[in-house]
A and B are shown apart, each in its own frame.
Chain A
Amino acid sequence: MVKLLTTGTFAIATAVKHADVDVISAYPIRPYTGVMNALARMIADGEFDAEYIVVDSEHTQFEVAKHAAACGARVFTGSAGIGWAYAHEPIVVTPGCRQPVVAMVGTRALDDPGNFGVEHNDVLAERDMGWMICFPENPQEAYDLTLMAYKIAENPKVLLPIAIACDGNFITHVRFPVDLPEADVAREFLPPTPPPRPSVLHPDKPIILCPHTDYYWGMEFRRQLDEAMRNAREVTREVHKEFNKIFGRGGPPFIEEIATEDAEVVLVGMGGMTMVARAAIREMRKEGIKVGFVKVRRFRPFPDEELREALKKYRAIGVIDNDFSLGAPNHGGILYQEVRSTLYDLEDGPYVINFMAGLGGREITVEYMRKMYDIVLKVARTGKVEQPVYWIGLRE
């Protein structure tokens, strides 16, 4: 076990190395390129063996990954922002081809205008398509979730691709203490050869993969994908349990509750903002204000039961969206829609306030966190919602 002060991209590259990935397709775009640089160096130095293909575009990256997976290889690719958008065509079809592609997203604001700062819209634009999506909080989680990703995606009951969404800059570039296990311990958890799967092309077992269909088949096929995504829940829980056992960390599979045993209100969010929330909670609790945070670790499949269980006891909660969804209900963000929809099934659910924060890479500071907590505390104490959506940190 090695404890390194390192970036999210290096941590993920190490996970890819430990997974003994066979094919990697690379194309540069900020802020995820670091992972491909690190992998290129590792392969050039013989740290592991893989076909590293420098391709002509993001579309090609994801096509190469899909077809390499279709021939039985373990693959890794990734992109960010508008590059992820350029790859939309192969991204959309990969779940339909039942290929377990693992891709990193360095979440970055979509063009136009160009902006290298973090926003979650690039990966969230694909939320309906059948990709599993997870948001690591820090480089340590980036390593953990990437290693787990292969095990979950390659399970024959799932066979869906998975995206590891790392906040641009805050997780991709900032150094953080990471426990990197030895390669053989990682191999104990994740064997280098993927388990056999039916969606593989080999002359010994000829199949026709993805023929053209029509209305006689379309609906049943979508239901089969739906079933695979449902299976992903149970498989994710099993894999997390196994990971917890071998590595002694990893936490619960879908959400993580931070300081919620006696919290008066909580904020809900994804990704790097959790680190800021931890700092804000420490500061406010010193002042006697009891607040907590619920981190959504996995966005797809969405953790309905876990969130309902965790949030039902509060009078008011806040949902922080590091994304936008122009024209959505209440003009709120994406996580807000999903959380509110989930909580609708509760008999007596909390007030939900939406905070649009961190857009375009504007850092969510402890001060902004405190502001958000104050608003939610006021709603909880007065029972009155003045406005459903706040833009935090905006120059008015």
Chain B
Amino acid sequence: MSEEIKPFELIEPGKIKFPSWKNPYTPCFTIVPAMKPNDKNPYYPTASARPRRPVTDPAKCTFTDKLCWLYCPEPCRIPKKTPEGKDYYDIDPMYCKGCGICAEVCPSKAIKMVPETEFAGWW
């Protein structure tokens, strides 16, 4: 039994390779690694149940208000740049659950909720 606590091995994001009870990852299964700050939990990319996703219009995004970033419960609002260099906020598609809070609170109405079926195949 190793004293250092290591993350469990993943087959793919969200799918753990379940170790034997003699596992070398942790002294015992009730002691598991904590996340790192600003990181993401690889064992639960929670996107699979998402019925609709928020799409930002970068032109309308004021960026500095950051209300979508502030009110996201996940949180999965990530700053991105358009090819032209405009800053805007978008989702981390592996984690957004499609709640729609960001679209509600955006002061410039830059976010639209679009059914997930429009994006079939990205996963």
Q: In the complex they form, do A and B come into direct contact, defined as C-beta atoms under 8 angstroms apart?
A: yes
User: B interface, by DSSP: helix, strand, loop or mixed?
Assistant: loop
Give the tally of cross-chain contacts (CB within 8 A): 57
Question: CB-nearest residue of chain A relative to B34?
Answer: A206
Shortest distance from the beta carbon of A227 to any chain B beta carbon, whole Å: 8
Tell me, rounded to whole Å, the shortest Cβ–Cβ distance linking B19 to chain A. Answer: 8
A382 within 8 A of B: no
Instruction: State whether B32 touches A211 (Cβ < 8 A).
Output: yes
Q: How far is the CA of A227 from the CA of B30 in the complex (A)?
A: 14
B18, chain A: closest CB distance, angstroms: 6
> With A and B bound together, what is the CA distance between A228 and B26 in angstroms?
14
Enumerate chain B interface residues (CB-CB to A < 8 A). Answer: 3, 5, 16, 18-21, 23, 26-34
Q: Please provide the chain A residues from 211 to 264 with a CB less than 8 Å away from any CB of chain B in the complex.
A: 211, 213, 216-217, 219-221, 223-225, 227-228
Tell me if A209 is interfacial: C-beta within 8 Å of chain B.
Answer: yes
What are 16 A-B interface contacts by the 8 Å CB criterion?
A98-B30, A98-B31, A156-B3, A198-B28, A199-B27, A199-B28, A206-B34, A208-B32, A219-B21, A220-B19, A220-B20, A220-B21, A220-B23, A220-B29, A221-B21, A224-B29
Inter-chain contact A208/B33, CB cutoff 8 Å: yes
What chain A residues lie within 8 Å of B19 (beta carbons)? 220
Instruction: Report yes or no: B31 in contact with A198, Cβ–Cβ below 8 A.
Output: yes
Taking a contact as CB atoms under 8 Å apart, the answer to whether A156 and B27 are in contact is yes
Known: A198-B5, A216-B18, A220-B20. A207 touches B33 (CB 8 A): yes
Question: Given A198-B3, A221-B28, A207–B34 Cβ distance below 8 Å?
Answer: yes
Could you tell me how many residues of chain A have their Cβ less than 8 Å away from some Cβ of chain B? Answer: 24
Residues of A contacting B16 in the complex (Cβ-Cβ under 8 angstroms):
216
A96-B5 contact in complex given A216-B18, A220-B20, C-beta closer than 8 Å: no
B5 touches A207 (CB 8 A): yes
Bound together, the chains give a CA A223 to CA B18 distance in angstroms of 15
**Minimal beta-carbon separation of A244 from chain B (angstroms):** 29
Given A198-B3, A207-B5, A216-B18, A224 contacting B33 (CB threshold 8 A): no
A 300-350 contacts with B by CB, 8 A: none
Q: Which residues of the partner chain B approach A1 to less than 8 Å between Cβ atoms?
A: none
Closest chain-A Cβ to B107's Cβ sits at a distance in Å of 36
